[in-house]
Amino acid sequence: MRENRLKRQLEAGETVIGTFCILPSATAMEALGLAGLDFLILDTEHGPLTIETCEDLVRGAECGGATPIVRVADNRPELILRALDIGAGGVQVPQVGSREEALRAVRGAKYAPIGERGVSIFTRAGGYVGTPDHPQRCNAEQLVIVHIEGVRAVENLDEILSVDGIDVIFLGPYDLSQSLGITGQVDHPRVRETLVTCTERARAAGKFVGSYAKDAEMARWLASIGVQYIATLVDAAAIALFYQGLVATIRRGG
């Protein structure tokens, strides 16, 4: 497992910018990295991506200089293991709402003595031939990112934060808005207050904090409250929005 540049950036206190990816194109991943994004979240929860597709997307992201992160579809050890074995720089686990669910994510992502991840050094993460220190390097370099996406998770946040092995607490504003009964209103004062208080609690517990920004203004606000790991837009949506604007500008003649 190679050194994780994204983790070094977070440890240095930098704010890192990425996006969610559903396009099954290594070329697109390389271009996004070359555009300056720090990380790319390969989304197997809400998109068509498979683990086979993701392996090439990991390569594409690395070619462009971005750290590939795989969001698994569920908090299951076999999904987490496969995402990390293809050489991803980390795994994002959705809908973590309790200490036990956080422990399950860590057990699936980390080798002993931290977790229970099945050992094979003959993987892409192990350079296919592996080295004796492969488990230790993966434990040290691959990020574990858990999603806090509902009222239950917020209520149990202190217990989740007590789990060793979690690197980033990712606050999902859209799911939080749904859980609060104001679906889609991510600028609502109740959503913003929840993001602020959860960020403060997570940082106090020594965890990095991540979240999603719908636009640059929201991204800047998230950074101002201490969120370091900011994902904005989705690759397919960014393309559609760009061309919508371009076509509208051309048609109106200026």
Q: Which residues are catalytic?
A: 46
Q: Compute the half-sphere exposure of residue 11: CA atoms within 13 Å on the CB side of its CA.
A: 8
User: For tokens 């749904």, what's the residue?
Assistant: 178
Ramachandran angles phi, psi of 189, nearest 5°: -55, -35
- Mention every residue, 6+ apart, whose C-beta is less than 8 A from residue 83: 44, 51, 54, 70, 72, 91
Asked if 175 and 198 touch (Cβ cutoff 8 Å), the reply is: no
Distance from CA of residue 194 to its chain's centroid? 19
Asked if 72 and 64 touch (Cβ cutoff 8 Å), the reply is: no
213 forms beta bridges with 232
- Residue 20 burial class via C-beta count within 10 angstroms: exposed 0-12, middle 13-18, buried 19 and up: buried
